[in-house]
Structures are given as structure tokens and as C-alpha cells.
Chains A and B, each alone.
Chain A
């Protein structure tokens, strides 16, 4: 009954066995473990099995360690000046020094803190907004849904970075909080749209109707029936939002719209260009922070490849046994 191009026949045979042969259904799963944990461990396994995702996780872990252990790893304080200005790489300063006489390597190590912080916080916040908007918008019908649809589409087509620049320029307070705020404000719409269409498709599924027939209330249907089935999409929109947030933070900092005294990869490049690092030939100062941003962003998209595998029901339902 199935077309080999999509799902192989044997996949069907597995689930369509005559009732008598039921004992051959996977008996080896520990029946004592709570099912939620089985789902989680299987999900983690699915992500890890994906080679790209594994690479991403390793890179991500590297940056996380860098951020956590910055005080231990960095040879100097990132803001300590007084070294030779605009020096090239040497044994004392592996990556050289900035125009203000600070150690570049220490700045790169400390810079990971800002990027990760912005990525995680802005990622979580925009995902939260996306989940709330996406779920409720997917569950309601009628004119309200139309209005939300219009607002989300508006936020999708309005170019995010110019909007961030304008808001940042008005707000003038140039802290990290402001950057996170504008990133969230402009970054939730994509996730909301994806989650909404998933909610809509799930709410039409029979098991949701069946839950209504089981006497479940709306909030329970949303949180216990629909939401757990969107784990992979929520995770994926988190990683997407975090990537966008990291890139946006670096862009705003590069324009000098953040707190330029704070050491982040974006502000490093801001100072590098303003102090004509291009003319002094300090290519490490240019290369290192940007490469870190690119690697961190790549690692997040690589992890996302694995998370995408979760939404493939054949993988999720543990055919890897």
C-alpha cells in the first residue's frame, strides 16, 4: 500500500501485523521507565546520531566552555590596556594587541560570553513569544486570526536590521538589554508562523478531536496533546532565533549601537575598523572575532539539522532499534 519512494513497504509491515503477532512488537524497551524520559533520551539519541549535528554540538560545547572558563583561559583581562599598541602576534600576545593596547586573544575569549548570552536569552525569549502567539493563533479561528496573520506577516516582511537600528538609535541607552529587546521584537515572527501552521495541522488531527471526546479541557489539549508533538519545531525555532540573535547583536555592535565599552566580537570589529586595523595590517584582529561568530552560528545551524530529523516520524518512532 505504500510507495517505496516515501516509506518502504516493510515500515508498513511493522505496524500492520495481524493482532496475534503482537508479541514481536519491540519488547526490549524498559517498561518501567516513564515514557517521557524514553522520548527525551530517544530524541537526544536521534540528534547525536546525525553527523552534522554531532559536529555542531561539539563546536557549541567548545564555545560554552570558553565562555564559562574565560577568567581561567584568558591570559589577561580583556579591558586591561597598557600593552604595546597595534602589535602583531607574539609569544606574549598570540593574537596581537588592539589599537588601545589590549590583548586580542583575551578579548576573543571574553567576547564569547556576550554572544552566547545574547543568543540564549534572545533565543529563549523570541521562542517563548513565538510559542504563545503561534499556539493561540493556531487554535483560534475567525477575524482575530486574520488580524494576527496580518501583524505577523508585517513583522516578517519589514527588514529586521533597519528596524533594530532605528529603535536602537531612539532608545539611546545602548546596553545589552536594549539589544536583546530589539532582537526579540523583530525576531519572533518567523517562529510564530511555523508554530501556527503546525498547531493548525495538529488540531485537525483525530487525536485532538479524540481528546475532546475524552472530556479534556482546551488548555490541557493545547499543553498535553499539541505542544509535546511540536518539540522538534520549537527546538528548531529556538536554534534559528539564537543564530539570528547572535548575528544581529554582532551587526548592531559593529555599527557602534551597542555598549562600545563592552567586549564582544561585534564591538571588537567596530573598534578594529574605527582604528584602521585594516591599514596596520592586523589581520588576526579582523579574522578571529568574525570567524568565531561564523563558527558559533554554523554550529547552531548544524545542530538544527539533527533536530529536523526529530520531526521525521520514522526517526522519532524509533526505527533505529
Chain B
């Protein structure tokens, strides 16, 4: 419980730091993003004072006390008020993020967890059969796949499976003729659209998990408790899973938390390639249109999601390792 509380405290502190970083970023940059943003917004029509104030609070203007701005900004973050987007004027940033987030969370979240589980299992097998073909094949292809840029894997799959063989839809999350909701045709269509991005993320992130688990488990296989378990004649399944793998999963889990940021970053590029209407694609649109309010809000959401995921991983670690309970 103490471990859980200390992790919770650390999470809160890190989240606060990330929110603050998000506040400071535009203010540390040369030039005035806020002025640029207001000028851009003015192209769509007159900017009302409330909107102007919101943008200034978010992006910073040379006038006004920093502390007061910070206070306003914190209030805005808590009420999820990120102003309006000017790419998709007059839609509010919050509504845009809200509609993109579910796609990314479901796609990236599910696939990442699946990749971790599959990769870990393959890693266990590779370490247990060290030196055999069952080890060499996943290890070698894993280290090669891990070096693939996410967007390139995506482009190749898109080109071959999407365009050349036309097995899967090439862009978007669902076809325009379906009605989003919990109905059969829509879900089937959404799954078909998700296959290529999902396979990309799975393939590219799998290698890292395989290698991580394999190396961790080769370490634990050399530990004395494994030798002793063998000396006691335990079944090899028990030795491999309950002794070697069970301990190797712990450092691997920590690695998972730390590598998560990279996977999420890569997934953003994947969304861009498949024009998948998630957070990454939206971020790409915001960046190309210099839509700073949208960009800021998206960055904050992405960071907070990764932090939450890390917190979950930490909690899981606490459950799996009895040594943290003391």
C-alpha cells in the first residue's frame, strides 16, 4: 500500500510537471506563438475577447504576469478548456481531441498490450531454447524489425496490401457509408480499417519486447534459484515459467513503461500514413496548419496518457513483486 501511494504521489508530481512543461514550452520559444495564433484566427473573422484571453493564457503573451497566466492556464486545463481550433474553426479543441482520442486509445492501446504479451511469450521461448532455431529466428528478425522506422513499415504495408493487392482499406477508420455506433456493419468495417495500422505497430514494436524478455530471462536462467529448482527435479515447465520467466518479467515490465513513449510516438506516424483519424493524424494536421492551441492540447493529452499507462505498469509491478510490499 505504501508502494502504491508513493507511486501515486510520483504520478501526480510528474503529471503536474508535464502540465507545467506544456505551459512553458510556447513561452520559451523565440517569437510569440500567441500573436501568430491570434493573427491566424483573425482570418476567420473577429476574435472575441474571451477567445483572445484563452489563447493568451495558453500560449503566453509578453504582457501580463506569468504567475497569473499560469493560474489561468491551470484552471483551463482542469476544465478541459483549450480554446478553439482555427484549422477546424469554430470547433473547440476539446471536442476535436475528444473525438480523436478513442480511436488512438483503442488502436494503439490494444495493439501495444498485445505486442507486449506476444513478444514476451516469444522471448520466453527463445531464452528457454537458447541457441536453437526457435531462438535464432525471432532474435534476428526481432532486432531487424525493431530498426524499421514505423512510418516505413506502414508505407510498405499500405503499398502492398492496400494498393497492390487491395486486401484492406487504405485510409480512415471507417467507411463513410456506415453509421458509427455499436452495430455489426460498422464494427466489421472499423476492424477492417484498423488491420493495417495494427499490424504495423505490432510488427515494429514486437522485436523490442522479444529481445528484452529474452535477455532478461537468460539472466534469470543463470540465477541460483533456477539451478536449485532443477536440482530439486521440478518439471521444466515449472522452472521455465514460475521461476525464470516469472522473475524476468519484472525488469521487462519496467522496460515496457519506459519504451511506451517511443511506441506511442511511432504510432502517431502510422496514423499519419493511414490517415487514421486519431490523435497522431490530428497532431500532424495541427502542426502543418500551425494550429498551436490544438497542438498544445494534443501534446498534453498524449503525455498524460503515457503517464497514466506508466502508473498502471508501476502498480502492476507492485502486485507482481512481493519485495515492494514491505
Residues of A in contact with B (beta carbons under 8 Å apart)? 3, 5-6, 150, 153-154, 156-163, 165-172, 190, 243, 247, 250-251, 254-257, 269, 272-273, 278-279, 281, 283, 286-287, 289-290, 293-295, 297-298, 301-302
Contact = CB atoms under 8 A, between A and B. Distances in A.
B71 interface: no
Contacts of A169: 287, 290, 292, 295
A257 B272 CA distance: 13
B224 A3 contact: yes
A109 B284 CA distance: 29
Contacts of B159: 278, 283, 286
A138 to B, nearest CB: 19
Interface string B147-174: 1111110011011101110000000000
A297 B261 contact: no
B45 interface: no
23 contacts: A6-B222, A154-B17, A156-B261, A157-B14, A157-B306, A157-B307, A157-B310, A162-B264, A162-B268, A162-B299, A166-B25, A169-B292, A170-B29, A243-B147, A251-B149, A251-B265, A254-B149, A273-B155, A278-B163, A294-B144, A294-B148, A294-B149, A298-B143
Of A157, A171, A250, A290, most buried by chain B (CB within 10 Å of CB) is A157
B149 A171 contact: no
A166 B151 contact: no
Interface string B23-59: 0011001110100000000000000000000000000
A160 B283 contact: no
B41 to A, nearest CB: 17
Interface size class of B (residues with CB under 8 A): 35 or more
A171 B29 contact: yes
B147 A294 contact: yes
Contacts of B222: 5-6
B236 interface: no
Interface in B252-306: 257-258, 260-262, 264-266, 268-269, 272-273, 283-284, 287-288, 290, 292, 295-296, 298-299, 302-303, 306
A166 B31 CA distance: 15
B284 A255 contact: yes
Closest CB pairs A-B (n = 5): A161-B265, A290-B152, A159-B261, A297-B147, A298-B147
A162 B147 contact: no
A153 to B, nearest CB: 7
A167 B269 contact: no
B205 to A, nearest CB: 13
Contact of B21 (A158, A294, A297): A158
B268 to A, nearest CB: 6
B25 A167 contact: yes
Contacts of B144: 294, 298
Contacts of A293: 147-149, 152
B227 A5 contact: yes
A287 B260 CA distance: 27
A293 B152 CA distance: 9
Of A158, A273, A279, A298, most buried by chain B (CB within 10 Å of CB) is A158
Contacts of A158: 18, 21, 261, 303, 306
A162 B26 contact: no
Contacts of B13: 150
Nearest to B302: A162
Contacts of B260: 157, 159
B98 to A, nearest CB: 18
Nearest to A154: B17
B3 to A, nearest CB: 16
B146 interface: yes
Nearest to B11: A157
Contacts of B265: 159-162, 251
A159 B29 CA distance: 19
Contacts of A5: 222, 224, 227
Contacts of A161: 261-262, 264-266, 268-269
Contacts of B143: 298, 301-302
Contacts of B273: 273
Given A290-B149, A290-B152, A150 B302 contact: no
Contacts of B160: 283
A297 B272 CA distance: 22
A290 B146 CA distance: 13
Contact of A255 (B29, B269, B292, B302): B269
Contact of B147 (A150, A154, A272, A301): A301
Given A159-B261, A170-B25, A279 B14 contact: no
Nearest to A248: B265
Given A165-B283, A257-B287, A154 B266 contact: no
Given A154-B17, A255-B269, A294-B147, 13 more contacts: A157-B306, A158-B18, A158-B21, A159-B264, A165-B287, A166-B295, A170-B25, A170-B29, A254-B149, A273-B155, A294-B144, A298-B143, A301-B146
A290 B33 contact: no
Contacts of A154: 14, 17-18, 21
A161 to B, nearest CB: 3
Contacts of A298: 143-144, 147
Contact of A159 (B149, B227, B257, B303): B303
Of A168, A171, A278, most buried by chain B (CB within 10 Å of CB) is A278
